[in-house]
Amino acid sequence: MKKKYEVWLPLLFSVVLVAGMFLGYRFSSTQPNNDFFYHNTTSSLQEAMDIIKLRYVDTVDTDSLEYYAIQEMMNELDPHSAFLPPVDLKQETEDLSGNFQGIGVEFNLVRDTVNVTYVIENGPSEKAGLEIGDQIVKVNNLSLTGKGMTLTKVRNSIRGESGSVANLQVVREGSSKLVAVTRGFIPTPSVIAAYMVDKKIGYIKFYNRFSSLSYREFMQSMELLQKQGMTELIFDLRGNGGGYFDQAIDIVDEFLDGDKLIVYTEGTNSPKKEYRCKRPGIFEKGKLTVLVDDLSASASEIVAGALQDWDRATIIGRRTFGKGLVQEIFPLSDGSALKLTIARYYTPLGRSIQRSYEEGKEEYLDEVWQRYANGQVYYADSNKVIKGKKFVTPGGKVLYGGGGIMPDMFVGLDTTRYSREINRLFINGTFNDFVFHYYLQHKEVLAQFSTPTAYAKGFEPSKNMWQSFVSWARQDTIDLSKLPNMEKQRVEDRMRANLARYKWRDNGFYEVYNTKDPVVLKALEVLRK
């Protein structure tokens, strides 16, 4: 009996002790002073929101107040950290996903009417029978005409969940008809142009973002061009504002050999992390040029910076944007999210590309536009604006950190700017409207050319085309009758390229436009030496 008692006593004591602690905790929670057992973690912000909810004189949309408070908090951080309400988060995700859900057309507002300017091949609208030139006047009985209509309103009306139906009222050559289009997933490609400039030189143009499909599209384009004999490449990243970090790293890996460092990241709460080459690349040899400008940012700067640091490519164009911060998306419980900067990235030599934002967000963003006002985008001596830490590449080239990637060869904007009249026609859409209608009325002119190359060499705008444009401009009270011949030629060159887009899409546009583009011409000069 005594032995059994000795065995069970410790167990019984343990049960009583645990039960006593539990009962004591429950008892303490009913007492007026229980801070020892309970720590109040409510923030001052939450306390203020609670008081407003309970005591404010009028009804308040507290969700809006919370969003505003979070946004103001994010504004106190760097220029690239942001609060994303659910609708903005959806747009951000869609932009980087490589596709969206819709009917598969490109359109423009011409004289307050939605005109279809392109029907995506094998997309929902092509299957339903839509054509370039169709005018969409209603979608599901919602009118899309009138002065209050905007591109955003049209886009929101025709997009929708894959599998849903958009009932379109379409006007074609004066006749109205109903077209039912079943929405689907529409690709938004990263590579919008890839072609052979000559027998050896290839050209690849990236669109404005690095999406989740960018690396795959890049590899497909590279393989296609190599089959056509490409041994030298022009990689055009002008206007590309960045996107997915990993896509840029994978692309750089295709240009560098061994286990070379591509980029590394580091932050106060993010330990240093290196990203190195990990596979044999598709283009580790062969001449390479990378084109950049003041809107090339983030992922584009990772590509340009790594290739410049290793002396692998010649960087041509204008100084890049200067964004060297890494953001991560942190979802919140209501469907919104924080896009928070967690680290800075550094090129292989250790250059930080990030511009200073000590003067505030507004000054930071305005700096890019100030480059136009102070002449930096026009003249080569803008190379002197970066005075950061000095770095030296393995080949002996001197580079600087802070303020973006400075190109190895500067090509400024043409100082022979368009006149005020022509700029008005570009800005208000009159120029695009004219080219679109000219294409619809003269398809047979373009039909005689089988390729953009043949078109670029053989098509010359007729005198009748220019006179038609002059008459078209008069609708906006703009007189082009005394336009200098040099400017007239530049406008006609732009017309030729825009016309090519309607038949051969962006690939055709760039194949024609690049024949006169000074940055591309400089790249060709470098590659042909």
Asked if residue 6 has pLDDT above 90, the reply is no
Residue percentage of the chain with pLDDT more than 70: 89
Using DSSP, state whether 420 is helix, strand or coil.
Answer: helix
Q: What is the pLDDT of residue 15?
A: 43
* Mean pLDDT for the stretch of residues 160-182: 89
* Mean pLDDT for the stretch of residues 188-206: 95
* Mean pLDDT for the stretch of residues 372-379: 81
Mean residue pLDDT across the chain: 85
Nearest-5° Cα angle at 218, 213 to 223: 130
The string of DSSP codes covering 31-63 is: SS--TTT------HHHHHHHHHHHH-SS---HH
Give residues with Cβ within 8 angstroms of 220, minimum separation 6.
191
Q: What is the pLDDT of residue 95?
A: 66
- The whole-angstrom separation of Cα 516 and Cα 42 is 63
Give me the long-range contacts of 475-479 (CB less than 8 A, separation at least 24). 475/430, 476/424, 476/425, 476/428, 476/430, 478/421, 478/424, 478/425, 478/430, 479/421
Taking only the tens place, the pLDDT of each residue in 287-306 is 999 999 999 999 999 999 99
**Structure-token match 């560098």, residue found:** 256
Would you place residue 386 in the very low, low, confident or very high pLDDT band (cuts 50, 70, 90)? Answer: low
* Mean pLDDT for the stretch of residues 9-31: 42
Q: What is the pLDDT of residue 11?
A: 45
Taking only the tens place, the pLDDT of each residue in 91-135 is 777 666 767 788 988 888 877 788 888 888 888 998 998 988 889
Radius of gyration of the chain (CA): 30
Total count of residues recorded for the chain: 529
Single pTM value for the model: 0.84
Q: What is the pLDDT of residue 197?
A: 96
Asked if residue 29 has pLDDT above 70, the reply is no
Give residues with Cβ within 8 angstroms of 73, minimum separation 6.
83
* Mean pLDDT for the stretch of residues 329-349: 90
Asked if residue 32 has pLDDT above 80, the reply is no
Q: What is the pLDDT of residue 381?
A: 66
Q: What is the pLDDT of residue 41?
A: 60
* Mean pLDDT for the stretch of residues 232-260: 95
- The whole-angstrom separation of Cα 454 and Cα 497 is 13
Q: What is the pLDDT of residue 34?
A: 44
Q: What is the pLDDT of residue 455?
A: 92
In this structure, the number of other CB atoms found within 10 A of the CB of residue 503 comes to 16
Taking only the tens place, the pLDDT of each residue in 208-224 is 889 889 999 999 999 99
In this structure, the number of other CB atoms found within 10 A of the CB of residue 144 comes to 21
> Strand ranges (DSSP E) for 86-200?
99-102, 105-110, 113-119, 135-139, 142-143, 165-172, 175-182, 184-187, 191-196
Lowest mean pLDDT among 226-235, 237-246, 461-470, 499-508: 461-470
- The whole-angstrom separation of Cα 59 and Cα 18 is 48
Using DSSP, state whether 416 is helix, strand or coil.
Answer: coil
Tell me the sheet residues that pair with 288.
Answer: 233
Asked if residue 416 has pLDDT above 90, the reply is no
Q: What is the pLDDT of residue 522?
A: 97
Would you place residue 185 in the very low, low, confident or very high pLDDT band (cuts 50, 70, 90)? Answer: confident
Q: What is the pLDDT of residue 499?
A: 92
Give residues with Cβ within 8 angstroms of 29, minimum separation 6.
37, 38
Sign of CA dihedral 438, 443, 448, 453: positive
* Mean pLDDT for the stretch of residues 43-53: 79
Nearest-5° Cα angle at 498, 495 to 503: 125
Asked if residue 314 has pLDDT above 70, the reply is yes
